[in-house]
Chains A and B, each alone.
Chain A
Amino acid sequence: MDQSLKTTCLHDDHIALGAKMSPFAGFDMPIQYSGIIQEHNAVRTAAGMFDVSHMGEIFVDGPDAEAFVNHIFTNDVRQLAPGGILYGMMCYPDGGTVDDLLVYKEFESGFLLVVNASNIEKDYKWLLDNAGGFEVEVFNDSESWGQIALQGPKSEDALVKLLGLEELRELEFYTFYDLEDEEGGRVIVSRTGYTGEDGFEIYASPDNIRDMWASLLEDGITPCGLGCRDTLRFEAGLPLYGDELSPEISPVMAGLSMFCKFDKPEFIGKEALMKQKEEGVARKIVGIEIKDNAIPRAGYPVETEDGTQVGVVTTGYHSISLDKSICFALVDSAYGALGTPLWIRIRKRVFPGEVIKKRFYKTNYKK
């Protein structure tokens, strides 16, 4: 292993399980244990668990916490009840994306921002740089927390068994409970995830997370790597920062304007995003299906029939759950309408396809 890589609190457990490890966002992370297809299917049909301890936890508190979060966040936290969660983005003034994140409204005061591992330092600096004029404290507490994502139709049963709390069944989608471990340490359980299935994300101290991982393993929950985390989120139509969102790809271009609340008085990027929404964008993220088993990969050209390049694949797979070759692609908006024929160049050949809805897989959230 490259010694400059960081490790999560579960690193030894991954090695002991024989995981295939690879660098991701500066961490040495498990890509797969038994195999991506088996792990993917475990989440779709039963339950799987992911080490997502690399994700960032940034706390915002103080008298102006709500105003500050609403200033840097595209969604609107004003109507959010304590224990509620919102998905949205932080944007640059030009509408480009700093990161996509979850915002948890704390029961006492303040907010927890859960951000992508690859962006922790950048986001923290962005928050500090934009906190001028607000009476807030911004604290990057990422190293104090481990995190497990428990996902799949059987995850509710597994969670109740793990924590011994029947009340967890009542937890609603995009809300969280605050619990305490035996030593008085904080445990956060939210009904959220990144797979398109019902599921939970558990935040706790590294020691506690290791104990929970061991208990879940003993309970027969399938350990799942980042390989199937990507195939699952992709099928569910969810973007990955760096692929479908970036400084060059705004939430409007990514088809995520429902998470931008233009009726807020202001937020960073509002004017640019509103203009994109009203006047249309030059390029947008679409779904494309090709009628062949060849696999469109990130970077492959998207072309018209005469061979003119009009876009590029951002993520693509032969979908495990749907058994067809599909991808997200960033294309010229003129070619973005559903049903538009497009061709994808894969090595020496071009394969015909057409634009389809991005939510490839029918999600099974518990609402």
Chain B
Amino acid sequence: MSRIIEGLLYSESHEWVKVEGDLAIIGVSDFAQAEMGDITYVDLPSEGDEVAAGEEFGALESVKASSELYCPVSGTVEAVNAELEDAPEKVNEDAYAAWIIKVRMSDPSELESLMDAAAYAKIAE
């Protein structure tokens, strides 16, 4: 059974979003990391990149497969978690501590289309 944290927002493609003002901190859910298995590589965007809701911003790679990351919100990448370049396994260890990017949102109303923990629990089974 995977962990789902209250107070975060979730996308259908299994990213989580923690909102701090107009900053969206984004990672992948515990369900997603468990499905992937041992993560060996995180393909990160660059700080300053423009991202759009629903578009690919990077990827996680396990031994067997790669899985694209989709941005739940539009905006500018303000920070990337460079620590994951050398320690991608941190996503497996604690998917909610291992944030991947922080996005300065251009349209915070996009958050309304994301799920809360209860709604996400229904699809992450």
| Interface, chain A (partner B; CB < 8 A) | 20, 31-32, 35-37, 40, 227, 230-231, 293-295, 297, 317-318, 320, 346-347
Contact = CB atoms under 8 A, between A and B. Distances in A.
Contact of A36 (B38, B43, B59, B68): B38
Interface string B43-80: 10000000000001001011111101000000000000
A153 B34 CA distance: 31
A130 to B, nearest CB: 37
B64 A31 contact: yes
A19 to B, nearest CB: 12
B66 A297 contact: yes
A294 B41 contact: yes
A314 B59 CA distance: 20
Contacts of B64: 31, 36, 227, 230
B43 A318 contact: no
A160 to B, nearest CB: 32
B112 to A, nearest CB: 29
Contacts of A20: 37
Contact of A347 (B40, B43, B65): B43
B69 to A, nearest CB: 11
A33 to B, nearest CB: 11
Contacts of A294: 41, 43, 61
A20 B37 CA distance: 10
B67 to A, nearest CB: 11
A295 B88 CA distance: 13
15 contacts: A35-B37, A35-B38, A36-B38, A36-B63, A36-B64, A37-B40, A37-B63, A227-B37, A227-B64, A294-B41, A297-B66, A317-B63, A318-B41, A347-B43, A347-B59
A107 B16 CA distance: 63
Contact of B61 (A37, A40, A318): A318
B59 A318 contact: no
Nearest to A31: B64
B70 to A, nearest CB: 13
Contact of B63 (A320, A346, A347): A320
A320 B38 CA distance: 11
Contacts of A37: 38, 40, 63
B66 A295 contact: yes
A346 B66 CA distance: 10
A36 B89 CA distance: 13
A276 to B, nearest CB: 33
A318 B66 contact: no
Which 7 residue pairs are nearest across A and B when measured between Cβ atoms? A36-B63, A295-B61, A37-B38, A293-B41, A318-B40, A35-B38, A227-B64
Interface centre among B56, B61, B63 (most CB of A within 10 A): B63
Given A295-B61, A317-B63, A347-B43, 11 more contacts: A20-B37, A36-B64, A37-B38, A37-B40, A227-B64, A231-B63, A295-B40, A295-B66, A297-B66, A318-B41, A320-B63
Contacts of B68: 347
Contacts of B56: 347
Contacts of A231: 63
Interface in B11-37: 37
A231 B38 CA distance: 14
Contacts of A227: 37, 63-64
B78 to A, nearest CB: 20
Nearest to B62: A36
A294 B59 CA distance: 10
Nearest to B42: A293
Interface centre among B43, B56, B64, B66 (most CB of A within 10 A): B64
Contacts of B65: 297
Contacts of B62: 36
Contacts of B85: 293
Contacts of B43: 294, 346-347
A293 B68 CA distance: 16
A297 B40 CA distance: 14
